[in-house]
Chains A and B, each alone.
Chain A
Amino acid sequence: MSKNYYDPADLRKFGKITEWSEELGNKFFDYYGKVFEEGALTAREKSLIALAVAHTEQCPYCIDAYTKDGLQRGVTKEEMMEAIHVGAAIKSGATLVHGVQMMNKVNKLDG
């Protein structure tokens, strides 16, 4: 057993999850593959969305995977950083917008 929670080498083993639950695993990978195909959004746009979400989810595997995916698609580092800022803005916005709930509560209890 590794002494770390995350090991970069584990990403390559992702496909093995099907071994312990073949049907669900395969359904997941079929779905996953389909999601990232060219559609109403380009595969490049989807890759940037994935990169932003990888950061908000703080998944190191996804960050590695979609950084590389972006480079392969010719995405520039400026584009990648802007995508992450979108994720960060939503994250912080989502935190701050709850401030309204706090304000509502204060106003109700102590208004």
Chain B
Amino acid sequence: MATKSLKKRESELANSNRQLEILSNGIFQNGELPTFASKIAETDQFPLKAKKLEILQINVGYMCNQVCEHCHVDAGPDRKEIMTRETMQQCLEVIKKTGAHTLDLTGGAPEMNPDFRWFVEEAAKAGIKDFIVRSNLTIIRANKKYYDLPEFFKKHNVHVVSSMPHWTRGKTDKQRGDGVFDKSIKALQELNAIGYGMPDSDLRLDLVYNPSGAFLPGDQVSMEKDFKKALMEDFGIQFHNLFAITNLPISRFLDYLIASENYEDYMYQLVDAYNPAAVANVMCTNTLSVSWDGYLYDCDFNQMLELPVNSKAKHISEYNEELLEGRKIVISQHCYGCTAGAGSSCQGTVA
């Protein structure tokens, strides 16, 4: 398993233009498979447009304590892109006045941003209904300075959303690194101990499942049942909901698909599983993604592909909700990942 990001390895796939080229060439260029634009046009859903903003997702930096095989952020300890307090300040201005009901902090490991706690404390004051932090769990056990994170989250009524690719050690560690499973279990037990994820608790703890290889996620409801049963029986762990998320063919997952000679088959799987009903609710229609340096994107995936929003307001400092509403979403073939089967978003299925 790699211990460095694609960027550090100077892989050609660290270049977003190269990724976009791959996604437009070959089977999509020769007409073997339809482009995403032509597919959604079949049901009159082109161009895809943003509706009213509901979720503001802020990526506070690409640094992470892990180097997961399929990370769409290409995150890792070697990534130095970190949101400054100044940009956070600009985000806070927006958080105070936004009509969005959900604030979603992500990374990398957001907790590694030196101003993370300050930002959470300030953002919590805005009283947004649902305040999510995407925590990778192992960070809580990575260093003494993070041991009190569960208490910190509780104090600010943060909704914790964490990745867990499988309920067995082998499959989890294969995707996320040796020892990740045991540390994640310990972190979940600690969160449970202070009330997170318990059946009647308001302290929300949800898990994200994404497949460990070149296949699509199974039915979210059945997966949740299986996860709950196994984690309860084996470790006495409880959580609220499971979000089944499809791996999008970008960044390290794209690198994996190509290296394992699964790229074409995977694209076929995505296109075969295309569900027009999922298109209406893909997350870019109600989400806005802010990068570590304050730029605006339709989603976290477009952020990684460096496809900025198609709007006059391009930066958090120029933020204008009315202006952004109705903007045309920037799409490419990676978007098929959001419309396969029951659809996929940061909040799980959409159809």
Q: Find chain B residues with CB under 8 A from A43 CB.
A: 219, 222
In angstroms, how far is the closest chain A Cβ from the Cβ of B212?
8
Encoded as 1 (CB less than 8 Å from any A CB) or 0, chain B from 160 to 171 comes to: 000000111011
- The answer to whether A72 touches B272, judged by C-beta atoms less than 8 angstroms apart, is no
In angstroms, how far is the closest chain A Cβ from the Cβ of B351?
17
Judge whether B147 is part of the interface by a CB distance below 8 angstroms: no
Bound CA–CA A38/B227 (angstroms):
18
In angstroms, how far is the closest chain A Cβ from the Cβ of B311?
37
Q: Find chain B residues with CB under 8 A from A38 CB.
A: 222
Residue of B nearest to A42 (CB): B222
In B257-274, the 8 Å CB interface with A consists of 268, 272
Bound CA–CA A80/B292 (angstroms):
43
Q: Find chain B residues with CB under 8 A from A44 CB.
A: 222, 226
Bound CA–CA A72/B244 (angstroms):
11
Q: Find chain A residues with CB under 8 A from B217 CB.
A: 72
Q: Tell which of A42, A43, A73 has the most Cβ of chain B within 10 Å.
A: A73
Judge whether A58 is part of the interface by a CB distance below 8 angstroms: no
In B215-246, the 8 Å CB interface with A consists of 215-219, 222-223, 226-227
- The answer to whether B215 touches A68, judged by C-beta atoms less than 8 angstroms apart, is yes
Bound CA–CA A73/B227 (angstroms):
11
Bound CA–CA A72/B342 (angstroms):
13
Bound CA–CA A68/B273 (angstroms):
14
In angstroms, how far is the closest chain A Cβ from the Cβ of B167?
7
Encoded as 1 (CB less than 8 Å from any B CB) or 0, chain A from 28 to 66 comes to: 000000000010001110000000000000000000000
Given contacts A12-B268, A44-B226, contact A71 B213 (CB under 8 A): yes
Residue of B nearest to A76 (CB): B168
Bound CA–CA A31/B21 (angstroms):
42
Q: Main secondary structure on chain A at its contact with chain B?
A: helix
Judge whether B211 is part of the interface by a CB distance below 8 angstroms: yes
Q: Find chain A residues with CB under 8 A from B167 CB.
A: 74
| Interface size of A as a range | 10 to 19
Bound CA–CA A74/B172 (angstroms):
11
The one of A68, A71, A74 that contacts B226, using a Cβ cutoff of 8 Å: A74
Encoded as 1 (CB less than 8 Å from any B CB) or 0, chain A from 71 to 110 comes to: 1111010000000000000000000000000000000000
The one of B166, B168, B216, B268 that contacts A72, using a Cβ cutoff of 8 Å: B216
Bound CA–CA A38/B218 (angstroms):
13
Given contacts A12-B268, A44-B226, A76-B168, contact A71 B219 (CB under 8 A): no
Residue of B nearest to A9 (CB): B268
- The answer to whether A12 touches B272, judged by C-beta atoms less than 8 angstroms apart, is yes
Residue of B nearest to A68 (CB): B215
Q: Find chain A residues with CB under 8 A from B223 CB.
A: 73-74
Q: Find chain B residues with CB under 8 A from A76 CB.
A: 168, 170-171
In angstroms, how far is the closest chain B Cβ from the Cβ of A14?
11
Bound CA–CA A73/B225 (angstroms):
11
Bound CA–CA A76/B213 (angstroms):
12
Bound CA–CA A42/B221 (angstroms):
12
- The answer to whether B213 touches A73, judged by C-beta atoms less than 8 angstroms apart, is no
- The answer to whether A71 touches B215, judged by C-beta atoms less than 8 angstroms apart, is yes
The one of B168, B211, B272 that contacts A71, using a Cβ cutoff of 8 Å: B211
Bound CA–CA A43/B213 (angstroms):
21
Contacts beyond the supplied A44-B226, A72-B211: 16 A-B pairs with Cβ under 8 Å: A12-B268, A38-B222, A43-B219, A71-B211, A71-B213, A71-B215, A72-B215, A73-B218, A73-B219, A73-B222, A73-B223, A74-B167, A74-B223, A74-B227, A76-B168, A76-B170
